[in-house]
Amino acid sequence: MLSGLLLVPLLVFMPEKGLWTRWRRRRQNMLRVWMEDALKALYNCEYKGISCDVGGLAGRLGISQDRVLQVLQKLRDQSLVKTEGEQVLLTRLGRSYALRIIRIHRIWESYLANETGMAETDWHRLADLREHELSMEEVNALAGRLGNPVFDPHGDPIPSATGELPRPKGMPLRDLPEGKEGIIIHLEDEPPEVYAQLVAMGLYPGMVVRMLEKDDKRLRFEAHGEELLLAPLLSSNVTVRALEEEDRVFDAGLSLLEVPLGEEVEVAGISRACRGQQRRRLMDLGIVRGNHIKPLFRAPGGEPTAYDVLGASIALREEQAKHIFVKRIQNDK
Amino acid sequence: MTNSECKSCPVHHEAHLRALGIDMSRYDFVVALAGNPNTGKSTLFNALTGLRQHTGNWPGKTVARAEGAFAFGESRYKVVDLPGTYSLLSTSTDEEVARDFILFGKPDVTVIVVDATRLQRSLNLVLQILEITDRAVLALNLMDEAGRHGIEVDVRGLSKALGVPVVPMVARSREGLPTLLQMIDEVATGAYRCKPRRLKMERRVVEEMVCSLEEKLAEVFPGVPNLRWVALRLLEGDQSMMEAVSEGHLGAYEALPESEPEEVLALAQELRWQLGTDFHDELMESIFSEAAKIAGKVVRMEGKKEAFSLDRAIDRVVTSRLWGFPIMLGLLALVFWLTIVGANYPSAMLSGLLVERGHPFLRDLFLSVGAPAWLTGLLIDGAYLSAAWVVSVMLPPMAIFFPLFTLLEDFGYLPRVSFNMDRLFKRVGAHGKQALTMSMGFGCNAAGVVATRVIDSPRERLIAIITNNFALCNGRWPLQILLATVFIGAVAPAHWAGVISAAAVVGVAVLGILFSLAVSWALSRTVLKGEASAFSLELPPYRPPRFWETLYTSFIERTLIVLWRAVVFALPAGMVIWLLANVHVGGLPLAEHFIRAADPVAMIFGLNGVILLAYLVAIPANELVIPTILMLTVMHLGMEGVAPGQGVLFELEDAQGIAEIFTAGGWTLLTAVNVMLFSLLHNPCSTTIYTIYKETGSAKWTALATFLPIGLGLLVCLLVALVAG
């Protein structure tokens, strides 16, 4: 009886498959959602320079091929796409429509990442819902409040309000030559399962990796002093570019959490996983590359810990300290 | 505005200042006071302005502002104290307020207060301010502390490196103040021309990008002095700056006709894509590395750093496993004891003056001039009496509690309490500083809610605001003590009565703390899950508190504001209470109708109609609950000779007399227990509700903070009634 009562709200409010979410999705004009999703998918193909056909679209959108044809017909009627043989191409109008949706999606992801406490793996899903609901005016106002971000939290460039987007850069991780270093500039957030796996491995845009060895079955590379393995198929979801001489690199071997009380160390950087207000706060307090920091004492419960930063005592919890990377100070004398 | 012909003319922007809430009609120059927290900025502000100051909030913001004035030579100066910040580049409201004031208000002089013992840290803010304005004076404060710690600062070298005057001083003893005034005057009148140091980006490619944007800006806006700052802001995506450029005017400068401001924005957008996501990090790194360079040149340390060892020694004791908590509980108990004991006498005096003597006097006065009875009843028995009651019961404890609290804060101890308590509060999804706002709530919930401003993380601040009401405030203690003595003490053996009734009161307060923790936990995992959260806690250096200043500011900023709000709400409530008892419909007072209708429902919760009505009408202040219950019970029972008049609030000196009235009103032990619980768990008073609305700016959170405790209270009372029944 009691468990039955508990089950009802679960059925209604379960994320993704709950009745409420389903009802919400249905309520939004389904056809429009598919049309917008199709435009987005087509734009992605175009951006990456791969061809897109009906089968591929059906896979990406998770609907039947018949339905895709119906959606494409509708798009053709509004001159948003044109077909050339098997290939589906965007018209100028379609491209600007797609860029609008992408802008909304990526701004919303930036908002979730910087201004809310939502989990990283939820951003994409939530943005997929919101992108069909928000107007361009609302999003531009939101972007203004966020400091007009030009990259989303996955490292994707955000189309400007006037619909510009820079040319794609970089290469898939598997193209990075052995022994060479590269910087991750993008993590593909679709499909979500792969993205979750990449996040779980600790990869993030801005991370420096060094290719150790690669063959058909797996890639072996180094990041943060750790050796990681990845199947070549998954590695196409990681985009890198070669490291340049003046690039800012921080060596993220040691986290502040591991430094014993009383040892003064040098800040190497703050992990990309620490975002928004928290990140800026730490930097304002002087936790910036090159400055020194020293754990002083801990609270009676073992946490938080007070640190000396440029002469002031600042207390941080474990979850902040673990995102701060430091270097031991060498005693040359 | 910047008239190159007139070097001694003010440069401030009057229209913008007016929008920021500053009226310049009676002043020649405006001086902004900026600086890190804990650098003695407010001490300097007080030294500059004396008592010619007033405090308030920035327009549309919950950020406190103080402004004052001074005269020097022939000129009158207005001084505006900006919020203490570490930086101007982040998105916090404090920083936005400070940044906008310097940028758009264009103060004639910005005085940057700097801690001489931590120069390198302060230089971060200094360099940022010097990017915006070229009219600044550096007040190098706390030179005495620096001397004690063996720190020497090359003042001339610093002035040369920064390009602005540097005045070494000790604000506390007014040392260096005349020189500071002199330098403010020289910069304001243009006698001293600053040549502020401008930043360079560390990486060459980035520096080139900033320069290229600056050049593009110069094509469109020739002659604007701080284009580099504009360029940096554009590269950070600052919305207000982008709008200013796109509309074609930067401050008072117009874009050249024929030029294309949109091209600037397009270039900025292009550069930002090239810069990647790290620009803010790089900017901060460049600033700090510049600060390190300057500090390395001008600061000399004698001896070892161990000079700060006194602070460390105190910290080791007050945060130790052994002593941390006993010291904390001991100090809190002392503060409460001083408050309760110390408030008795002034409370009795105020009550004698305002209630026992003032009330009959005003009543007679009204009657003697022939005022109609209803008017006398409404204004004197209703409005005046309830306001007088609130003042006499509320003022003395707050006037003792808040200054004591502020003294501990000023000394630097309270942040250590947050530090010690943080782990517990982290477990329930809250901030360690909530320990402080909760303690403050024991004095007054409205003040506790205002105090949550110290929590600089949105989610944790909301949690602290919503749960503050679970701290049993000063206005509710008398009711707890009365009922515990009369009902709970009475059922205990005589020699244990005192201890058991005291334990009951403390038990209710502890229950409140438990509820506050449990509700924090639930909120952080449900409705507030998605709110942003950040943590950092500064442990400022210990400093001897400034006694008189503390008394003055805590009285003005905490006590009087809360008292004023309470009185404003008590006046109409007094009238309502009087009307309910005196307006008759169908032969019975309105209150009687309500009591009879509510009785059956209230009984289910182990309460009665009188109690519900009393809580309904005494919403302005919990202090009014006991007298209202007494008045309504006497009226309901038609008792003669007890009350001074129909609808007139009263209280009896001896507990026995009160006990008789309650028993006659049908109260049992269950009623008393449930009233004690309901007194802990009901809506905040109207002053607190209003304050919550002011602080959150949201009807949704205000409603949650109001109705959640009532719901819990009714639920708990129902459960107790069921168990007891």
B61 or B194, higher pLDDT: B194
Contact B422 A299 (CB under 8 A): yes
pTM reported for the whole predicted model: 0.82
Angstrom distances, CA of residue B46 to CA of B30, B43, B403, B559: 16, 5, 18, 20
Identify which of A117, A291, A319 has the shortest CB distance to residue B532. A117
Cβ contact B592:B618 at 8 Å: no
Interface probe, candidates A284, A292, A293, A309, chain B, greatest B C-beta count within 10 A: A284
Banded model confidence at residue B52, pLDDT cuts 50, 70, 90: low
Q: How confident is the model at residue B332, as a pLDDT? A: 86
Structure tokens at A68: 């895709």
Q: How confident is the model at residue A47, as a pLDDT? A: 77
Triad B252, B30, B109: Cα angle to 5°:
80
Q: Is the pLDDT of residue B307 over 60?
A: no
DSSP 8-state class, residue A116 = B
* Interchain contact B526–A (C-beta under 8 A): no
Cβ contact B184:B109 at 8 Å: yes
- Measured in angstroms, the CA of A6 and the nearest CA of chain B are apart by 16
Q: Is the pLDDT of residue B2 over 50?
A: no
Banded model confidence at residue A33, pLDDT cuts 50, 70, 90: confident
Q: How confident is the model at residue B300, as a pLDDT? A: 86
pLDDT digits (tens, 9 = 90+) for B226-253: 788 888 888 888 888 888 888 887 766 7
Contacts of A208 in chain B (CB under 8 A): none
- Measured in angstroms, the CA of A106 and the nearest CA of chain B are apart by 14
Q: Mean pLDDT throughout B262-282?
A: 85
Q: List the helix and strand counts (H, then E) for chain B.
A: 33, 14
* Interchain contact A266–B (C-beta under 8 A): no
Domains in chain A: ranges and CATH: 2-90 (1.10.10.10), 94-145 (1.10.60), 171-248 (2.30.30.90), 254-328 (2.30.30.90)
Q: Is the pLDDT of residue A10 over 70?
A: no
Interface probe, candidates A241, A248, A249, A282, chain B, greatest B C-beta count within 10 A: A248
Q: Mean pLDDT throughout A260-267?
A: 91
- Measured in angstroms, the CA of B608 and the nearest CA of chain A are apart by 33
B64 or B286, higher pLDDT: B286
> What is the ipTM score, two decimals?
0.85
Q: How confident is the model at residue B4, as a pLDDT? A: 45
Q: How confident is the model at residue B34, as a pLDDT? A: 92
Banded model confidence at residue B632, pLDDT cuts 50, 70, 90: confident
Unique residue bearing structure tokens 């005085």: B111
pLDDT digits (tens, 9 = 90+) for A175-216: 888 888 888 888 877 777 888 888 888 887 778 888 888 888
Q: Mean pLDDT throughout B382-388?
A: 87
Q: How confident is the model at residue A238, as a pLDDT? A: 87
Cβ contact B45:B77 at 8 Å: no
Q: Is the pLDDT of residue B681 over 70?
A: yes
Q: How confident is the model at residue A22, as a pLDDT? A: 67
How far apart CA A55 and CA A68 sit, in angstroms, is 9
Contact B124 A312 (CB under 8 A): no
Q: Mean pLDDT throughout B561-571?
A: 83
Q: Which residue of A has its CA nearest to B146?
A: A311
pLDDT digits (tens, 9 = 90+) for B10-22: 777 776 777 677 7
pLDDT digits (tens, 9 = 90+) for B109-148: 999 999 998 898 899 999 999 988 888 999 999 998 888 8
How far apart CA B39 and CA B145 sit, in angstroms, is 11
**Which segments of B250-278 does DSSP mark as H helices, in order?**
261-275
Helix B227-235 with B261-275: angle, nearest 10 deg? 60
Please give the backbone phi and psi of residue B372, each rounded to the nearest 5 degrees, phi first: -60, 150
Q: How confident is the model at residue B3, as a pLDDT? A: 43
One-letter-per-residue 3-state SS of B276-308:
HHHHHHHHHHHHHHHHHHHHHHHEEECCCHHHH
Q: Is the pLDDT of residue A231 over 80?
A: yes
Tell me the average pLDDT of chain B.
85
Q: How confident is the model at residue B360, as a pLDDT? A: 86
DSSP 8-state class, residue A309 = E
Contact A288 B457 (CB under 8 A): no
